[in-house]
Amino acid sequence: MKVVVIGVCIVISIYLLVLMINIIKKPTSNFVVEEGKIYKEEPAEGYIIREENPIDIPNSSNGIVAIRSEGEKVARGESIYRYCIENEEEINNNISNIDKQIQELIGNDEDEEYYSADIKIINTQIASKLDTLYEVDDLQKISQGKTEIGNYLTKKVKIRAEDSDNEELKSLLKQRESYEKQLKDDSTYIEAEDSGVISYRVDGLETKLTANDLSYLNESYLNDLKLETGKLIASTTDSGKIVNNFKCNIACLLDSEEAKNCEVGKTIKLRLQDSNEVAAKIIKKDEQSSGKQLIVFEVTNSVVDLIKYRKISFDVIWWSYSGLKIPNSAIKYEGDFAYVIRNRAGLKEKILVKVLKTNNKYSIVENYTYNELKEAGYDMSSLSNKKTISVYDQIEN
Q: What confidence tens digit (pLDDT) does each residue in 26-65 have?
A: 445 788 999 999 999 999 999 999 999 998 777 666 677 8
CB 269 within 8 A of CB 279: yes
Residue 136's pLDDT is: 66
What is the H or E stretch that residue 90 is in?
Answer: helix 88-106
Domain-located, residue 180:
yes
Residue 307's pLDDT is: 94
Please give the angle made by the CA atoms of 284, 286 and 288, to the nearest 5 degrees. 150
**pLDDT tens per residue, range 58-91:** 766 667 788 888 888 999 999 888 888 888 888 8
What is the domain count for the chain?
A: 3
**pLDDT tens per residue, range 172-212:** 888 888 888 888 888 888 889 899 999 999 999 999 999 99
Q: Are residues 143 and 168 in the same domain?
A: yes
Q: Are residues 156 and 114 in the same domain?
A: yes
Q: What CATH number is given to the structural domain containing 307? A: 2.40.30.170
Q: Are residues 304 and 353 in the same domain?
A: no
**Best CA proximity match to 311, nearest among 191, 203, 183:** 203
Q: Are residues 92 and 172 in the same domain?
A: yes
Domain-located, residue 227:
yes
Mean predicted confidence (pLDDT) in 95-118 = 69
Residue 2's pLDDT is: 58
**Best CA proximity match to 73, nearest among 190, 191, 188, 199:** 199
Whole-structure pTM value = 0.72
Helix/strand/coil percentages in the chain, nearest 5: 35, 30, 35
Q: What CATH number is given to the structural domain containing 332? A: 2.40.420.20
CB 354 within 8 A of CB 345: no
Choose the weakest-confidence range: 2-6, 27-31, 110-114, 355-359. 110-114
Q: Is the pLDDT of residue 382 over 70?
A: no
Residue 179's pLDDT is: 85
Q: Which domain holds residue 91?
A: 85-186
Residue 104: helix, strand or coil by DSSP?
Answer: helix
Domain-located, residue 199:
no
Q: Are residues 292 and 366 in the same domain?
A: no
Q: Is the pLDDT of residue 109 over 50?
A: no
Domain-located, residue 305:
yes
Q: Are residues 304 and 213 in the same domain?
A: yes
Q: Are residues 229 and 282 in the same domain?
A: yes
Where is pLDDT greater, at 123 or 143?
123
Highest mean pLDDT pick, 67-81, 228-242, 293-307: 293-307
* Percent over 70 (pLDDT), the chain: 84
Domain-located, residue 115:
yes
Domain-located, residue 346:
yes
What's at 92, amino acid-wise? N
Return mean pLDDT, the chain. Answer: 84
For residue 4, count CB atoms less than 10 angstroms from its CB and return exposed for 0-12, middle for 13-18, buried for 19 or more: exposed
Q: Are residues 241 and 313 in the same domain?
A: yes
Radius of gyration of the chain (CA): 34
Q: Are residues 210 and 275 in the same domain?
A: yes
Q: Are residues 248 and 275 in the same domain?
A: yes
Residue 334's pLDDT is: 86
Domain-located, residue 66:
no
CB 313 within 8 A of CB 229: yes
Domain-located, residue 364:
yes
The distance from CA 78 to its chain's CA centroid, rounded to whole angstroms, is 28
Q: Are residues 292 and 390 in the same domain?
A: no
Last residue of a domain, one of 298, 321, 344: 321
First to last CA, the chain: 45
Last residue of a domain, one of 321, 356, 373: 321
Q: What is the DSSP string of 221-244?
A: HHHHT-PPTTPBPPB-SS--EEE-
Reported confidence tier of residue 23, pLDDT bands at 50, 70, 90: very low
DSSP 141: H
Choose the weakest-confidence range: 12-16, 103-107, 134-138, 370-374. 12-16
Last residue of a domain, one of 299, 321, 343: 321
- Main-chain dihedrals φ then ψ at residue 105, nearest 5 degrees: -75, -35
Task: Kindly tell me the sign of the dihedral angle through the C-alpha atoms of 150, 155, 160, 165.
Answer: positive
Mean predicted confidence (pLDDT) in 269-283 = 92
Q: Are residues 218 and 313 in the same domain?
A: yes
Residue 185's pLDDT is: 80
Where is pLDDT greater, at 153 or 39?
39
Residue 19's pLDDT is: 47
